[in-house]
Amino acid sequence: MGEIMRIYGETIFDICYLITALVIGVYILFLKYRNNLGRLMGTATLLLGCGDAFHLVPRVLKNFIQYDFTAELGIGKLVTSVTMTIFYILMFYIYKNKYKVENTKKIEYSIWILAIIRIILCMLPQNNWITNDGSLMMGIIRNIPFTIMGLIIIVLYYQKREECNEFKHIWINVLLSFVFYLIVVLGTTKVPILGAFMIPKTVCYILIIVAFAKMIKKNKE
């Protein structure tokens, strides 16, 4: 009974998250009131939802269909890894556009270099995406540049937290999402139950895209 409740609870949560991300992404991207900031936030939100769908849809289906989804889950993780990397590139440009910050070339170059390194590391065959049994070491290595990207974004949004009420808590949501994510990366190999931390990680991303929607609503008014 407990396992059935877990499966249905996880399934409902995943579906609600994907619908939320896609609806808010479309809402932001296709509003009549559009500017560069809106397009960036809409693109980031849709990218988040579409990227996660590659991993979450097979995850949902495997609970109800008698089929080996190992390859689909592994490839889904690869796609999500790449789209999340691009998401944080967009987070930088959202920051730059919203706060009209100049002289950010060094930070911009750093973000791009880290993103390229991260994507290259994700593409290495040692990740064993097809068999979905990558090693802990590869998980750590490919997440080093990603974590540094996250730290940069956290610091940038933290510094501007008092300048925009809608974006005030983005830094803490990004910080917590990385804490939960790293717990999963570092701990699930030995303690599978730690994979449950992906749920609060996802909640953090929902709060970020809700902040985007609030910003668009404010600008529209």
Q: Would you kindly state where each structural domain of the chain is located, as residue ranges?
A: 2-220
Q: List the structure tokens of 201.
A: 């990680």
**pTM of the full predicted structure?**
0.92
Query: Residue 67 has what DSSP assignment?
Result: S
- The pLDDT value given to residue 219: 65
The reported pLDDT for the residue numbered 67 is 85
pLDDT of residue 1: 60
Report how far apart, in Å, the C-alpha atoms of 22 and of each of 29, 42, 131, 174 are.
Answer: 10, 9, 29, 20
For residue 221, what pLDDT is reported? 54
Please tell me the predicted confidence (pLDDT) of residue 5.
80
- Indicate the length of the chain as a whole number: 221
Q: What is the pLDDT of residue 220?
A: 60
Sign, Cα dihedral of 33, 108, 156, 21: positive
Region 2-220: CATH code: 1.20.1070.10
Element (H, E) at 151: helix 136-159
- Confidence at residue 62, expressed as pLDDT on a 0 to 100 scale: 87
Widest Cα–Cα separation across the chain = 58
* Per-residue pLDDT tens listing for the chain (221 residues): 667 787 888 889 989 999 999 999 988 888 755 788 889 999 999 999 999 999 899 988 888 888 888 888 889 999 999 999 999 999 999 999 999 988 889 999 999 999 999 999 999 999 999 887 778 899 899 999 999 999 999 999 999 999 999 999 999 999 999 999 999 888 877 787 888 888 899 999 999 999 998 888 766 65
What is the pLDDT at residue 2? 66
Residues 6+ apart with CB under 8 A from 1: none
